[in-house]
Each structure stands twice: as structure tokens, then as C-alpha cells.
Amino acid sequence: MKLPPLLLAAAAALTVQSCKMKSTESAVGGDAAARTYVAPGKYDELYNFVSGGFSGQVSVYGLPSGRLLKVLPVFSVNPENGYGYSEETKPMLNTSHGFVPWDDQHHLALSQTNGEHDGRWLFANANNSPRVARIDLKAFKTMEIIELPNSGGNHSSPFLTENTEYVIAGTRFSVPVGNAESPLDNASYKKNFKSTASFIGIDKHSGHMNVAFQIILPGMDLDLSRAGKGPSHGWFFFSTYNTEQASTLLEVNASQKDKDFIVAVNWKKAEEYVKAGKARKMATEYYHNTFNEENHAATSEIIKEVLTLDPEELKDLVYLIPCPKSPHGCDVDPSGEFIVGSGKLAALIPVFAFRKFVKAIEDKAFEGEYNGIPVIKYEAALHGEVQKPGLGPLHTEFDGKGNAYTSFFVSSEIVKWSVKDLKVLDRVPTYYSIGHLMVPGGDTKKPYGKYVVAYNKITKDRYLPTGPELAQSAQLYSIEGDKMQLLLDFPTIGEPHYAQAIPAEKLKNQSVKFFDIAKNKHPYVAAGEKATKVERKGNQVHVYMTAIRSHLTPDNIEGVQVGDEVYFHITNLEQDWDIPHGFAIKHAATAELLVMPGETSTLKFVPTQPGIYPFYCTDFCSALHQEMQGYMRVSPKGSNVPLKWHTGGTDPTAAVAAK
């Protein structure tokens, strides 16, 4: 049969179209829209905290809508609200190597009590300049950042124990301890490079972090980690790669062995050794930055020593379990009995049983030692293997019904399998190249379940094209039925790695609405317009300024000279929710301030030329927001214009000699 060309083309087009529609239909069920629709004015069911990857920040989405609620500045400066620019927040980003304005943020952990999310704090890791941050979940604010000594690539972090006793920080990039210089070759790596597992102790009440002790391990890459729970509480498990100990071309050289290790650390034992004085005090230097809620400002403290433990000397502290091959995820199921290693280059998923692991130690079922650390026989600790699950397994989460969900980067899919009998139950495609995945509470003793979210590396044709750089994405699937069902796609900021989610009920009622002005202990607070003033101390000029709808006081300032360091200390006098005021001044080489109600924040400006410098409120606050403006007069250096300031005609006006 011959068809006219035009008809043929039409038929082809029809085929293509019907094909596409069919695949869309099969991928997204008919009620997906209804199940993710959150009507205007309604709240989402869950808060979803998503790591920002190379953005350095943490984003907060609502689930199931996928609506972006907030971007929390953590490891990168944020000109949008002045984080890292204001005098109060600059110390948060101090490190032993100076002020660092950026990092690569990979993993998040919500604090836990009895193995369940308790809604108090969120911990975040920085991969590049090794640090861990604590975010307060009442104010949604980064309160603390601690640096890790003897670390490189803080990747297997900030996973935590079931009562938040410790947050972990393990090195992806081994480095010589003490940051000593060393030649770069494989022999030098084997001899000098060490990986370290730092246990950050968390104060039960304040959440304050301190590096309690570090376990010095042979040089290799500690990739990811999980604390034991229930029966395995007291242990921490790390996945490793590059147990070949190569310093170059790891793509090939770290893929030589068929098995690397799960490193099992007995941290209760470590505590005993520390108590018994078996830890070594080592001189070092690292920063601990804390934001003070009362004076609305951060300070940096330099810590000069760390306690280290050596597992080559202290036996029964660390054991190694062989794990195929270059494992990435290392995940513990809700019962605490099973440990899942996801070998990126393995064609199966090994599942280890904690009970068998303990027995193997008792029976001394070792196959040898690795750098002085006992290696347990693979079969002795093995519960079983999931056969032919997919290509490139990365991470596993759990639903609390005995099922596991593993992400597969190479075959772009999520595979559901049964922990008990290791049978594959279901698989769904992801679009495309999934990295992490997250079941709400899926890392706890009591998963919330209901959804699994895929965090994808590649989006290609999923959204309108935006040049060479495309958004990365999250995909929401229902796991309520036997079959997983795709419900929603939404683009994310930066590159999402691991994420956490918690029922909104656990957080929303504790949210801070404003800071009590009566409790503001900032040294430069102006609690009321009567307290506003301008003071000169040498070449420093301190402006005690207030903001309220809709004026700044003082709004006319004279007597400032070229080269002066002018500090605008802005106190927002508002005592109501959702009324921040902004502050910016022309030609200031810094970002704006966004000052929350009851808070004081400081912008530093050093004018380089005489003239008139307008300043204004940057956050639309009222009908007369446009009127919320003022002027600073800057005179040449040595000018005799006296320092004076005012707002309105009859307000307190003061004048003092310029010098």
C-alpha cells in the first residue's frame, strides 16, 4: 500500500504524539494532580528539607505540593538577607583558613529522640571546607558551625545517633593528620594519609556541638554512614571506597578490588576508651562559630586541641566488613538489625545482619587484617543479597512496613524490595539519573512513609529549556499501594543530595514569629526612637537607627567624612509577624540587611567620596514604604561639618564637634 507523502507524515506525527501521550499517562496516574494539590491558603502535610549541594544552602519545600517555602542560608553568603555580609553574621563563615563564602552542602539530619525526629534541630554538612552546621527549627536559622580538624571532604556527615548523642563527620578525602605536607604518590598515600571519623557531641539541651573525639583510620574514602539503632545502637557504620589507597586516577585505581568495606565503629567502646584516658590529645586549630539569640550576633572561638583514638592500638573498637564494590550508601533499616551496602559498581545489593556481625566477632570469624584492623568474613555477617536489582545502586530508605527503596543512578530507577526475603517487588523510572532518595522518616525507627522522593541529577527534557544549565529536580512518588506511583516533578535549587522530611504538625506551631525587643541584648540596640543616636569614636561612626512602618530614625545624618567606617546598627521596632525591614545605602560595597522584627543588624559602609548618599528600606512594608528613605551627607576628610542627625523637624537633634 502506498500513501501520499503528506498523509504519511501526518500518520507519523500522530504515532509520535500518541506514543508520548501513552508514556505520560502510564507514568502519571489520573489522580496525581488531586493528590498533590494543596489549595491556596492551605498548608502542606510535610516540611521537606533539601540539601542545596553546590549552592551551599538548604531549601525548604512543602510536600506534597513541591512548593518552595524558604532557602536557609548555611554555608554560602546570601546577599538576599545579608547573611555573611552583616557584621553579626560574618563570624559564622570564619574558618582556620579565613572567611570562606561558599561550600558544597550534601546531607541533612533532623535531630532524633528515641530514634524518631523530634523537630528541634537540623544538621548540615559542608563537604569542601569540612564543617557541620546546626540549624534551629524554631527560628529556621543557622545557629552554629563547627569546623573539623584532620579532615578532607566531609562527606559521610552529618548522620546522627538515635538520641542525637553524636553527629558524625567522616572524611571522603584522606589527608595527612595535622595537615602536614606530603609527596603525592601512592606510597606516600599509604604511609601518611589517614581518614578520620569525628564524633561531634551534642548538648542535650542547647544543641551545642563539640568534637568529642576522632578515630584515626587507614587512608581510604569514607563515603556515607549511618548510626545503628535499637539492637545496633552504640555502633556507627561507614561505607568506603578506594581501599586500594590510590592518590591518582581513582576512577580506575579505586575500582580494582571486588570488595571494599563497611567500617563498623563501636562508639560506646570509644567513649569508654576516652574515659579511661586512652585518647591522645593532639594540638590542632579549628573554628567554632556560634550565633547568640539574645544579642543577635555570632562569635568565633578557636579550639586548639582534639582527642584522637587509634584502632590499631585499641582493639575491638573498629571492624571491617567486606562489601562489593565501591559502596556508596550505607543504610540501617528501622529495626536496626539490617545494614544495606549499595555498591555503585556491584550487580547486587548485600544486606548484612547485625546479629550475625556480632556473632562473627565473638567467633573470631576473620579473614585477616587491613592496616591492623580485623576484617570479618563476608558470609559470616551477610543476611543475603538482592540479585539483579538494577545498575548503580546508591542509597536505600525504608517505609516501616518491611520494604526498602533503593535508588539506581545508571538505570535511572527506584527499586522496591523486601528486606526479609530480598525479593524485588516493584520498580519505577526516574527522570533522570537519580542520586539520593528520601522516604519521610525513612532513616528513623518509625518511618512516616506515604511518599518517596527522588532527587535527580539530570532533567534534560523535563522542563522548558534555560540554556546550557538546567534545573535539577525532585520527583514525588506515592508508596501507599503495592506499586509506586509518580505524582509530581519539581525543580530544586543547587544540586539536591540527601533530604529529610517531617510532618508539619511537629514544627509549625513552634515557629518563631518575631524577636521580643525587650530581650534584645545587642550592644548597639536602639529600643525605641529615644535611644537613637550617632556616635563618633575616632574614624568609626556608629549609627543607632530604628525602623518601623514607615520611617528610619535618624533619616538625615551629617558630619560623616570620607574614609570613616560607618556602622549602621538597625533595630527593627516592629513586634509583629512577617514585618521585616530592609536597609541599603548607595555605593556600599556590601549586601542589604534584612532585619527581622525585634532584631538588630549592622551594615558597615566606608565612603570613598564626598557627596549625598541616599538610604532606604528594601522590603515593602506598608503603603508608605516608598517614603521610608533618608540621606547621609559625606564631607571630605578633615571637614568641620559637625556630626548631627534627626528625623522630622522636632525630633531629638544633636550636634557634637566633628572631631
Partner 1 sequence: MKQLRYLFICTVAIAIAAAGCGGGQDKAGEEKAPASGTPAADNNAAASNAVDPKGIGKFRDVQLTHPLDEAMAKKGLEIAEVKCTSCHKTTEEKLVGPGWKGVTDRRTPEWIMNFVTNVDEMLDKDPEAQAMLEICMVRMPNQNLSDDDARAVLEYMRKLDGKN
Binding site for partner 1 (CB under 8 A): 514, 517-518, 527-530, 546, 548-551, 553, 573-579, 620-624, 648
**C-beta closer to partner 1: residue 575 or 639:** 575
Element at 300 (helix H, strand E): strand 297-309
How crowded is residue 358: how many other Cβ atoms within 10 Å of its Cβ? 15
The nearest distance, CB 38 to partner 1, in angstroms, is 18
Toward partner 1, which CB reaches closer, 96 or 575?
Answer: 575
Q: How far is the CB of 72 from partner 1 (least distance, A)?
A: 20
Query: Which residue, 42 or 420, is less far from partner 1 as judged by CB?
Result: 42
Q: Closest distance between partner 1 and the C-beta of residue 548, in Å? A: 4
Question: Looking at 371-441, which runs of residues are DSSP E strands?
Answer: 373-376, 382-387, 393-398, 403-408, 413-418, 424-429, 434-438
CB of 134 to partner 1, least distance (A): 28
From the CB of 281, what's the least distance to partner 1, in Å?
49
Q: How far apart are CA 279 and CA 447, in angstroms?
A: 37
Q: What are phi and psi of 340, to 5 degrees?
A: -105, 120
Give the H/E segment covering residue 613: strand 611-616
Of 409 and 524, nearer to partner 1 (C-beta) is: 524
Q: How far is the CB of 518 from partner 1 (least distance, A)?
A: 7
CB of 324 to partner 1, least distance (A): 54
Here the cell at position 85 is 555580609
How far is 169 from 54, CA to CA, in rounded Å?
Answer: 19
Which lies closer to partner 1 via its Cβ, residue 294 or residue 305? Answer: 294
**Closer CB to partner 1, residue 43 or residue 577?**
577
CA–CA dist 546, 544 (Å, integer): 7
Which of 149-176 are b and which e, b meaning 16 or more Cβ less than 10 Å from the residue's Cβ? Answer: bbbbbbbbbbbbbbbbbbbbbbbbbbbb
Q: How far apart are CA 273 and CA 288, in angstroms?
A: 25
- Nearer CB in complex with partner 1: 441/597: 597
Rounded least distance, CB 644 to partner 1, Å: 20
The least CB distance from residue 136 to partner 1, in Å, is 21
What are the distances in angstroms from CA 155 to CA 173, 174, 225, 658?
A: 9, 11, 9, 54
Residue among 411 and 556 whose Cβ is closer to partner 1: 556
DSSP letters for 186-237: HHHHHHHEEEEEEEEEE-TTT--EEEEEEEEEESSEEEEEEE--GGGTTEEE
Neighbouring CB atoms inside 10 A of 138's CB total: 14
- Residue with smaller CB distance to partner 1, 402 or 523: 523
How big is the CA angle at 132 (ends 131 and 137), to the nearest 5 degrees? 150
How many other C-beta atoms lie within 10 A of the C-beta of residue 97? 11
Unique residue bearing C-alpha cell 568495606: 261
